[in-house]
């Protein structure tokens, strides 16, 4: 049964749809690692564009691990040419064409809306999940892909059997961006989401927020677990998850999870995944 847990009405492009971690050609390793971190992942999806994915579905949003098959053709240069790690922030839209017009008004428009699909195997049979996406042009947000997703079949995504996780994660609470020009980048996100202003580099929307930090602010907040900008002007520096059972998640970490670095604190738990240059935080 379709179970989007919060059905309140508000402009869809003010709502988070999902965040994306690019795992390249190492999907098997990524799947095992995130399952060991207590995420209940969906079966592997195969997009009509050639990419593959696993999802961790929450109440109203989700985390997507996206990658490419080790063999076979694909039409995803945006994935093949991207760095490993947190690679995308995606907002909901009820009409990709209308959103494209909004992007054109801002001079943010990328490619025109693109449709694609993937099969979803359920007990009742095999169904086709259908989407249409519209992108922001890459030079607006240098840290990664920013786009909007129109779901034609949300009942094939938000399903109760995929929404409960051993680590207790219920939603994505915050998305952290790191920039050499944090003020300008925060203003761009505010324009994108139709906010008149941002407060201290934070753009709040729908019980979620985007926080844009300078590199020094980022390192002050996350310390040795922070990712490096290297020679980049911006990166997507962290995903903050809200969990209803951080104690249980900490227990998972205490038992040992190969391939991660962790730091358990009073009000948060930090996890760095070096192989995918990814930082995630868990809060109560």
Domains and CATH numbers, the chain: 12-162 (3.10.180.10), 169-283 (3.10.180.10)
Angle at 161 between CA 158 and CA 165, to 5 degrees: 95
Residue with tokens 């900008």: 229
Mean pLDDT in residue range 253-273: 97
Single out the residue of 202, 269, 207 nearest to residue 58, CA to CA. Answer: 207
Model pLDDT, residue 206: 82
Beta strands in 37-104 (DSSP E): 45-46, 52-57, 62-67, 85-92
155 contacts: CB under 8 Å, gap ≥ 6: 1, 2
Is 52 exposed, middle or buried, given 0-12, 13-18 or 19+ CB atoms closer than 10 A? buried
Reported as a single tens digit per residue, the pLDDT across 174-230 is 999 999 999 999 999 999 998 866 677 999 988 899 999 999 999 999 999 999 999
pLDDT band at 95 (very low <50, low <70, confident <90, very high): very high
Reported as a single tens digit per residue, the pLDDT across 76-92 is 777 777 788 999 999 99
Higher pLDDT, 210 or 73: 210
Model pLDDT, residue 2: 46
Helices (H) and strands (E) in the chain, counts: 6, 15
Residue 36, token pair as written in the block? 């060991």
Reported as a single tens digit per residue, the pLDDT across 3-47 is 455 544 334 557 999 999 999 999 999 999 999 999 999 999 888
């Amino acid at each position: 049964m379709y179970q989007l847990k919060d059905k309140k009405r508000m402009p869809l492009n003010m709502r988070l749809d999902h965040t994306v971690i690019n795992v390249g050609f190492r999907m098997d390793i990524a799947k095992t690692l995130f399952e060991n971190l207590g995420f209940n992942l969906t079966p592997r999806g195969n997009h009509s564009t050639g990419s593959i994915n696993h999802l961790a579905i929450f109440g109203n949003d989700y985390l997507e691990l996206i990658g490419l098959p080790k063999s076979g053709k694909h039409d995803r240069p945006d994935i093949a040419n991207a760095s490993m790690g947190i690679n995308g922030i995606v907002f909901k839209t009820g009409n990709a064409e209308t959103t494209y017009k909004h992007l054109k008004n801002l001079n943010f428009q990328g490619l025109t809306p693109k449709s694609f699909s993937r099969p979803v195997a359920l007990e009742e049979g095999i169904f086709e999940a259908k989407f249409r996406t519209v992108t922001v042009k890459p030079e607006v947000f240098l840290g990664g892909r920013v786009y909007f997703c129109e779901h034609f079949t949300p009942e094939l995504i938000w399903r109760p059997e995929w929404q409960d996780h051993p680590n207790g994660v219920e939603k994505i609470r915050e998305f952290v961006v790191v920039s050499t020009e944090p003020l300008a980048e925060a203003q761009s996100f505010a324009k994108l989401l139709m906010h008149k202003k941002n407060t201290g580099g934070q753009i709040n929307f729908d019980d979620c927020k985007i926080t844009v930090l300078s590199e020094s602010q980022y390192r002050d907040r996350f310390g040795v677990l922070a990712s490096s900008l290297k020679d980049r002007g911006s990166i997507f520096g962290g995903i903050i998850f809200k969990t209803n059972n951080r104690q249980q998640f900490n227990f998972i970490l205490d038992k040992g999870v190969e391939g991660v670095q962790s730091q358990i604190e009073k009000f948060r738990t930090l996890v760095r995944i070096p192989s995918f240059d990814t930082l995630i935080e868990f809060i109560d």
